[in-house]
Amino acid sequence: MLHNKSAIVTGSTSGIGLGIARALAAQGANVMLNGFGDAAAIAGLIEELRALGVQVRHSAADMSRPEQIAAMVAEATQAFGAVDILVNNAGIQHTAPVHEFPVDKWDQIMAINLSSNFHAVRSALPQMRERGWGRIINVASVHGLVASVNKAAYVAAKHGVIGLTKAVALENARSGVTCNAICPGWVLTPLVQKQIDDLAGREGLTEQAARARLLGEKQPSLEFATPEQIGALAVFLCSAGADQIRGAALNMDGGWAAQ
């Protein structure tokens, strides 16, 4: 379905971004991977996706650095001839009460989880508008819709991502460029594993008990959403069936936000 389309997926060396990159490549899209990690592991991912018959590259651009974001978009445009699909996914977490929240962590979360989306959109959007087709998918979070304690920066940034999503969708509503947000609940990735480990350590729980506690507190299905499921939603958002989904925040959260 996405043969002859090219995508950038930020933060795609791990977790949800990798799930989305795999799903887009499986539909025939060329993919610019991005994110940090072990060079051999990243080379392995590139080989894995190239075996699907698509072009694959990796950019080590730091999403907290606007000039590196612009350079990544330029590199993908030159390598693939176009950027048709932009998935803003890179994100980090830090938990602390707001009055103890480290100022540098606040700034870092705002830069990576929110401002990077703006910088990537402003770089990639003009060519999408020129061609009359584009898909911008921002991986927000259920924390873009509701809050939890000790996550002030993350919650503020993700609410901001949903606001940005709506603004971009509206500005491009009469074009073939759509912009939507995906709002996952708990997904078992390294970002969440760290929170499971912290909880287990803090409360003396086994890892399994800590996982069950995390799900039990928030996610009524008591099951994690998976990177594959989020990849499938991203593919749908790239399809013609999603032409009139604009400015939406689609939660995939096991019922979290329905409570």
Site of interaction with ligand NAD (CB under 6 A): 11-17, 34-37, 62-64, 89-92, 112-113, 139, 141, 184, 186-187, 189-192
- What does residue 108 show for φ and ψ, rounded to 5 degrees? -65, -45
Taking every pair of Cα atoms in the chain, the longest distance, rounded to a whole number of angstroms, is 56
β-sheet with 6-9: strand ranges across: 56-59, 30-34, 6-9, 85-88, 134-139, 177-184, 249-252
Question: Shortest distance, CB of residue 186 to ligand NAD, whole angstroms?
Answer: 5
Task: Work out whether strand 177-184 and strand 249-252 pair parallel, antiparallel, or are unpaired.
Answer: parallel
Backbone angles phi, psi at 231, to 5 degrees: -60, -40
Q: Are the CB atoms for 165 and 138 separated by under 8 Å?
A: yes
Whichever of 91 and 134 has its CB closer to ligand NAD, that residue is 91
Active site residue 254: no
Least distance in angstroms from the C-beta of 254 to ligand NAD = 11
Q: In the complex, what is the shortest distance from the CB of residue 135 to ligand NAD, in angstroms, rounded to a whole number? A: 17
**Nearer to ligand NAD (CB atom), residue 41 or residue 51:** 41
Q: How many CB atoms lie within 10 A of CB 39?
A: 9
Task: Write down the least CB distance from residue 12 to ligand NAD, Å.
Answer: 6
Of residues 131 and 145, the one with the C-beta less far from ligand NAD = 145
Which one of 106, 154, 186, 256 is the catalytic residue? 154
Which stretches does DSSP call E strand in the chain?
Answer: 6-9, 30-34, 56-59, 85-88, 134-139, 177-184, 249-252
Minimal distance in Å, beta carbon 205 to ligand NAD?
Answer: 19
Cα 173 from Cα 187, distance rounded (Å)? 31
Nearer to ligand NAD, 2 or 137 (CB): 137
Comparison of 68 and 175: residue with beta carbon closer to ligand NAD: 68
**Cβ partners under 8 Å of residue 244, min gap 6:** none
Q: Which active-site residues does the annotation give?
A: 154
